[in-house]
């Protein structure tokens, strides 16, 4: 008996695809949000109290551009529209490659230990309250850029904040 007229059996059952682990892409953005006075927004991680950072996040798909990732992550993490009038999103054309922190390795495919982080800056007209995603962040603070750099838990984030006068 042939299979003519019948569809072949699927290789994966639809439910098994939903349960498959979804690994993060090891390409991310770091977006320094700042004012014309070089005050920098930092947000505290919900899963790591005391860990202050700029907006960060991984690409959702390999084809997503770093600019698209930055716009999406800024909106998701702060509620800020990076494309709003008076806002200037600038690609710094810099990247950091770093070892993924051990506590977050489980989010990546087995064997992935390095992340490539692309740096961007977002200038907004003035300090403002932001809408944090409680699942990701628990507090926010605006600080002059040198103080903000001292508060960043990540050395690459601190370095990016200290480079702000060069890009502002």
Tell me the average confidence (pLDDT) per consecutive run of 10 residues in the chain, 168 residues long: 43 41 92 98 95 97 97 97 98 96 93 97 97 94 98 96 96
Q: How far is CA 84 from CA 35, 36, 118, 122, in A?
A: 14, 16, 22, 11
What is the structure's pLDDT at 19?
A: 46
pLDDT in tens, 71-109: 999 999 999 999 999 999 999 999 999 999 999 899 999
Structure pTM?
A: 0.86
Q: With residue 159 as reference, give the H or E element that holds it.
A: helix 155-162
**How many Cα atoms within 13 Å fall on the side-chain side of residue 29?**
26
Q: Where are the domains of the chain?
A: 24-167
CB of 18 closer than 8 Å to CB of 119: no
Q: What is the mean pLDDT of the chain?
A: 90
pLDDT of residue 12: 34
Fold of 24-167: Nucleoside Triphosphate Pyrophosphohydrolase (3.90.79)
Closest CA to 119 of 142, 99, 97, 93: 93
Q: What is the predicted pLDDT for the residue at 21?
A: 59
CA distances from 136 to 11, 31, 86, 121, 142 (A): 36, 16, 27, 21, 18
What was the pLDDT predicted at 149? 98
């Amino acid at each position: 008996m042939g299979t003519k007229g019948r569809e072949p059996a699927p290789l994966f059952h639809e439910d098994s695809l939903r349960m498959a682990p979804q690994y993060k892409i090891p390409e991310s953005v770091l977006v320094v949000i700042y004012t014309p006075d070089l005050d920098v927004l930092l947000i505290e991680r919900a899963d790591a109290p005391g860990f202050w950072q700029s907006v960060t996040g991984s690409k959702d798909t390999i084809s997503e551009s770093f600019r698209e990732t930055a716009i999406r992550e800024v909106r998701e993490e702060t509620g800020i529209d990076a494309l709003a009038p008076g806002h200037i999103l600038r690609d710094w054309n810099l990247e950091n490659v770093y070892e993924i922190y051990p506590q977050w390795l489980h989010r990546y495919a087995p064997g992935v230990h390095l992340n490539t982080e692309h740096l961007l800056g977002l200038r907004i007209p003035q300090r403002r309250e932001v809408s944090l995603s409680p699942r990701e962040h628990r507090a926010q603070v605006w600080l002059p850029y040198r103080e903000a750099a001292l508060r960043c838990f990540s050395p690459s984030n601190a370095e990016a904040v200290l480079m702000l006068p060069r890009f502002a």
